[in-house]
Amino acid sequence: MTQSKEAFDFTEQARTATAVMASAFLAPGAEALLKAQAGFIAAAEMAAVDWLHRRREAISDAQHLVARLRESRDVAGVLQAQQDWMAGTFRRFTADAEACSKAAVLLAAGAKRDGEDAGQDARAAAQAAEHASSRARFRRAGTGH
């Protein structure tokens, strides 16, 4: 029994693997994804800061309400203090809802735009990887390996 021991050349496989890895990780699609994530984090940071300011204002308003209730000597004063506190509460609630809605719209618009860009980049990268793979198969077929 004779066994054929041909030397196997990994050069083409290495080139193909490098092309695939480069197209997957170094393509503009990856940059678009990272850009979208950076934008999302920046928007989330701004929204969180605004939200925290409103929470701080809510605590201050609650402290002010308690002081006014303690100082009130009649029902009219109590009701006015409660109405003032509720007005601030509803204003903050509205601001929270608007911020959430605005963030969702911006996120969706950015995701759509970045997704379209990434999709185009991914298609181009896949075509480049397929081309590199086809060249490698053609070269192997030509050398008999």
Q: Which residues span the domain enclosing 53?
A: 11-143
The verdict on residue 2 lying in a domain is no
User: Are 125 and 29 a contacting pair, CB within 8 Å?
Assistant: yes
What is the average per-residue pLDDT within 32-36? 78
| Average pLDDT, integer, range 20-31 | 67
Position 56 in a domain? yes
Q: What is the DSSP string of 27-88?
A: SHHHHHHHHHHHHHHHHHHHHHHHHHHHHHHHHHHHHHHHHHHHH--SHHHHHHHHHHHHHH
62 assigned to some structural domain: yes
pLDDT band at residue 139 using 50, 70 and 90 as cut-offs: low
Is residue 42 assigned to a domain? Answer: yes
DSSP state, 10?
Answer: -
C-alpha span between 128 and 24 (Å, rounded): 10
Please report whether residue 4 resides in a domain.
no
Dihedral sign computed on CA atoms, order 135, 139, 144, 145:
negative
96-108 pLDDT, tens digit each: 999 888 888 877 8
pLDDT value at 88 more than 80: yes
Into how many domains does the chain fold? Answer: 1
